[in-house]
Amino acid sequence: MLYPQGHRQISGLSPYAKKLVGELTTAHVKPRHIMKAIEGAFPSLKPNMRYIYNCRDMLRRERSEDRNAAQEFLHQAVQNNYLFWLDSDEMGRVTHTFIAHPTSVNLVSTYLHVIYIDAMYKTNKYLYPLVEIVGVKPTNKNFLVVWALLQHEDAESYRWMLSTLKNLIGCVTPNVIVSDRDLALCKYISEVFPTSAHLLCT
């Protein structure tokens, strides 16, 4: 059986559709919404979600210029003027990452009254705990100060993270630090920020 040249069920998305996928991906549109946009703009293509994911993956590889995940992270951080710190083991593997947006640094320098520290479950690809440090503005709105990926939820990792936070904010210390009951975290909060009141959340 002969198939027409460029049949979309065989060759995937057309160049115009790929361009639209790229534009929507850059705008942080979710894949399911991209799919609906492609179906609306190119009804004859009859695409499926695998086309969308494959196209996004191809565009991601092209934009990263064959950089691996760690190299791409550093590239994006430098390109967007993020402040970041990395720590590695004796094999040169990155074990700890600490990153802050310049706007967040300005906010925390102004509103360093209360910060909240919490480690999220290991839901990322590398199974590293993701720690978020959040500040509070006078309008009772939260803002993200920094986030950190730590190899382990242990005392040494928290010591590195809190010491790096202290380097970021300088000589001024938070009035109040709120955290959960993680014993390793609690130990180093009192050590790195001895003048800050430490409150436990329930």
Count the domains in the chain: 2
- Within a domain: residue 2? no
Same domain for 38 and 102? Answer: no
43 — phi, psi (to 5°)?
-65, -25
* Structure confidence by residue, pLDDT tens digits, 15-32: 889 999 989 988 889 999
Burial 169-181 (b: 16+ CB within 10 A, else e): beeeebeebbbee
What pTM did the predictor assign? 0.67
Q: Is the pLDDT of residue 181 over 80?
A: yes
Residue, of 136 and 76, whose pLDDT is higher = 136
Same domain for 45 and 145? Answer: no
* Structure confidence by residue, pLDDT tens digits, 128-162: 788 899 999 888 889 999 988 888 888 888 999 99
Can you give the CATH number for the domain in which 120 is found? 3.30.420
Residue pair 113/99 in contact by the 8 Å Cβ criterion: no
For residue 185, what pLDDT band results from cuts at 50, 70 and 90?
A: confident
Same domain for 49 and 91? Answer: no
Helical (H) or strand (E) element with 178: strand 176-179
- For 39, the domain range is 11-64
- Within a domain: residue 6? no
- Within a domain: residue 5? no
Q: Which contacts (CB < 8 Å, 24+ apart) does range 50-55 have?
A: 51/12, 51/13, 52/21, 54/12, 55/12, 55/13, 55/17, 55/18, 55/21, 55/22
Three-state DSSP string of 52-103: HHHHHHHHHHHHHCCCCHHHHHHHHHHHCCCEEEEEECCCCCEEEEEEECHH
Same domain for 95 and 189? Answer: yes
C-beta atoms surrounding 147 within 10 Å: 17
Same domain for 121 and 176? Answer: yes
